[in-house]
Amino acid sequence: MSYERANIREMTGYASGEQPAQPDIIKLNTNENPYPATAAVAEALRNCRVEDLRRYPSPLADRFRRTAAEYHQLEIDNIIPTNGGDELLRLVITTFANAGDTLAIAEPSYSLYPVLADIQGCKTARIMLGEDWSNPEDFADQANRAGARIAFVVNPHAPSGHLNSSAELSRIAENFSGVLVIDEAYVDFIDPELRYDAVELTRKFDNVLVLRTMSKGYSLAGLRFAYGIGAQSLLAPMLYKTRDSYNTDYISQTLATAALQDRAAAALNWAKVRAERLRLHRALSEMGFYCGNSQSNFILAQIPQHADALAGAERHALSLYQQLKSKGILIRYFDQPRLRDKLRITVGTPDQNTQLLLALRQSLQPSTD
C-alpha cells in the first residue's frame, strides 16, 4: 500500500553529490569552500552554551536580518532567513505556484529546481541557454509564453560559472510577468572588478528574489543557513505565512550572523579561490580542456579534442571521472545532455589542485601498451 500523492509516487528525488566518509578523499565535487569558516565564526561557536538552546530561537532571526539589511543597505523586511538556499527555493514554489502551474528553468542548471517543481505538481518549461551558457535574449518572452509563474536563473551560472550582467537580468525582470529568482549561491567568488550587483534589482522590481547562501562563500555548508533578498511585498507571504515558525535554529543564526559581520575575513578566502581558479583554468587549458570563463568556485572542463585519439574508456569524461575517483579524487560528472563530455571541478586548496592536475595528466597520457 502506498500513501504518497500520485505525483510524488511518479517523481524521482534529488540526487546529492557524493559525501564520502573517508577524510583523506580530495573532495572537489560539491562546490564547498576549501577553507574553514573564519576565526569569528569559530569563536561564536565556542561561545554557544547549551543553556541558550532551552528557549526557542528568534522566529525571524532578527539579529541576522539586521546585519544583512545593514550590509545590503535595505530594510529588515527585505531579508528572509532560511534553512539553506534549498528551503528558500521550496518556499518560493509553495508560496507562488499552484499545482499545475508552470515554472521556467534555465537549462541546464541546478537540478533541484525540477525536483521541487515535481513535489508541488508544477510543470516545467526549460529555457535553453546559449552556447556560452548565457541566457537567451528572449528569456522573458519564452517564460511568458509558457505562462510561467516563477523563473529560475543561476548567476554565476552552475555548472559553467558563466556570469550574466545585472543589466541582462534587469531586462528579464522588467519583461517577465512572474517572480524571477536570481540564485546567487556562488556570488562571492565573482571578480570584484566586474562590479556585479543584482541586489539593486530588488529595489527597482517587486518581482525579483535574490538567493544568497552561507554555504559556499562563508564555508558553512554544514550549518544550513541562507537568505533571500526582495521587495517587502514579495517576501511578506513567505515571512509571515508559509515559512515554518522556527525555520532557522539558534546556533545557525548565531554563526551566520558572525560570518556575515566578519565578511572581510571571508573575502580573503574568496581571493585565494579566485587565484587558484585562474591557475586551474590555465593548467586545464594547456592540457587541451576547453574551459569557459568561470566566475564561480568551480570550472566546467570540456574533454580535450585530442583525447579522441586515446584508447577506449579513457576517451570519455565518465572514464576520467572514474579514474580520478579510484585515485581518491572526487569531481562531478553529469549524465545529461550538453554535459556528458564535461567535468565540473570545484576549486580546492593549492595542494588539492596540484594533485588533481597531476592525476589528470597521468590519466590523459596515451597508454604505451
Ligand X SMILES: Cc1ncc(COP(=O)(O)O)c(C=O)c1O
For residue 158, the SS3 value is coil
- Kindly tell me which of 214 and 307 has the beta carbon lying closer to ligand X: 214
CB of 8 to ligand X, least distance (A): 21
Q: Taking the complex as a whole, how short is the minimal distance between the CB of residue 184 and ligand X, in angstroms?
A: 8
Q: Does 262 interact with ligand X (rule: CB under 6 A)?
A: no
Per-residue binding string, ligand X, 69-88, x by CB under 6 A, is ---------------xxx--
Identity of the residue, 84 or 161, whose beta carbon is nearer to ligand X in the bound complex = 84
Residue (207 or 219) nearer to ligand X, CB: 219
Q: Residues 142, 215, 247, 248: which binds ligand X (CB under 6 A)?
A: 215
Please say which residue, 224 or 281, places its beta carbon nearer to ligand X: 224
Taking the C-alpha atoms of residue 199 and residue 211, their distance in angstroms, rounded to an integer, is 10
Q: CA angle at residue 339 from 304 to 35, to 5 degrees?
A: 85
266 or 364: CB nearest ligand X? 266
Residue 122 found at the interface with ligand X (CB under 6 A):
no
- Which residue from 64, 110, 298, 334 is in contact with ligand X, where contact means CB under 6 A? 110
Q: How far is the CB of 346 from ligand X (least distance, A)?
A: 10
One of 69, 115, 221, 283 touching ligand X (CB under 6 A): 221
Cβ atoms within 10 Å, residue 91: 24
Cell triple for 319 = 572514464
The interface with ligand X within residues 14-33 (CB under 6 A) comprises: 31
Residue 179's alpha-carbon distances to 147, 210, 313, 340, in angstroms, are: 12, 11, 44, 31
Cis peptide before 156 (omega within 30 of 0): yes
Q: x-or-dash pattern for ligand X, window 324-353, by CB under 6 A?
A: ------------------------------
Output 309-314 pairs: Cβ under 8 A, ≥24 positions apart.
309/366, 310/364, 310/366, 310/367, 311/366, 311/367, 314/363, 314/364, 314/367
Residue 218 interacts with ligand X (CB under 6 A): yes or no: no
Q: How far is CA 95 from the centre of its chain?
A: 21
Site membership for ligand X, residue 135 (CB under 6 A): no
**Around Cβ 16, how many Cβ atoms within 10 Å?**
9
DSSP state of 270: H
Cβ distance to ligand X smaller for residue 258 or 359: 258
Q: Tell me how many residues contact ligand X (CB under 6 A).
A: 13
Contact 108, 332 (CB under 8 A): no
CA–CA distance, 105 with 183 (Å, rounded to integer): 11
**Exposed e or buried b per residue across 151-163, where buried means at least 16 C-beta atoms within 10 angstroms of its C-beta:** bbbbbbbbbbbbb
**155 to 174, contacts with ligand X by CB under 6 A?**
158
Q: Provide, rounded to whole angstroms, the least separation between the CB of residue 215 and ligand X.
A: 3
- Sole binder of ligand X in the list 226, 239, 266, 331 (CB under 6 A): 226
How far is the C-alpha of 281 from the C-alpha of 271, rounded, in Å?
15
Residue 142 binds ligand X (CB under 6 A): no
Q: Which residues bind ligand X (CB under 6 A)?
A: 31, 84-86, 110, 154, 158, 183, 185, 213, 215, 221, 226
